[in-house]
Chains A and B, each alone.
Chain A
Amino acid sequence: MKIAIDAMGGDHAPEVVIQGVEQARDELQDVDFLLYGDENKIRPLLKNDSHVTIIHTTEKVNSDDEPVRAIRSKKQASMVLAAQAVKSGEADAMISLGSTGALLAAGLFIVGRIKGIDRPGLMPTLPTTDGAGFVMLDVGANAENRASQLVQYAIMGDFYARDLRGLKNPKVGLLNNGTEANKGNELHQETYKLLSALDGINFVGNVESDSILKHTADVVVTDGFTGNAVLKTIEGSARTILGLVKHAIMDNGVKAKLGGLLLKDGIQSVASTFDVSSYGGAVLLGLKAPVVKAHGGADAKAVYYTVKQVKQMVETGTVQKVVDYFQAHPATKA
Chain B
Amino acid sequence: MSEQEVFDKIAGLIEDHFQVPAAKVTKELNFKTDLDADSIDSVEFVLELEDTFGAEIPDEDAENIQTVGDAVQYVLDHQNK
Contacts and interface: CB of A to CB of B under 8 A. Distances in A.
Contacts of A105: 43
Contacts of B43: 68, 105, 108-109
B59 interface: yes
B47 interface: yes
Interface string A71-107: 0100000000000000000000000000000000100
Interface string B37-50: 00010011001000
Contacts of B40: 108, 119
A130 B43 CA distance: 43
Interface of A: 68-69, 72, 105, 108-109, 113, 119, 333
**Best-surrounded residue of A68, A72, A105, A113 (most CB of chain B within 10 A):** A72
Contacts, number: 13
The A contact surface, by secondary structure, is: helix
Nearest to A115: B16
Interface in B29-81: 40, 43-44, 47, 59
A136 to B, nearest CB: 21
B4 interface: no
B59 A109 contact: no
B44 A109 contact: yes
12 contacts: A68-B43, A69-B59, A72-B59, A105-B43, A108-B40, A108-B43, A108-B44, A109-B43, A109-B44, A109-B47, A119-B40, A333-B19
A69 B44 CA distance: 13
Contacts of A113: 44
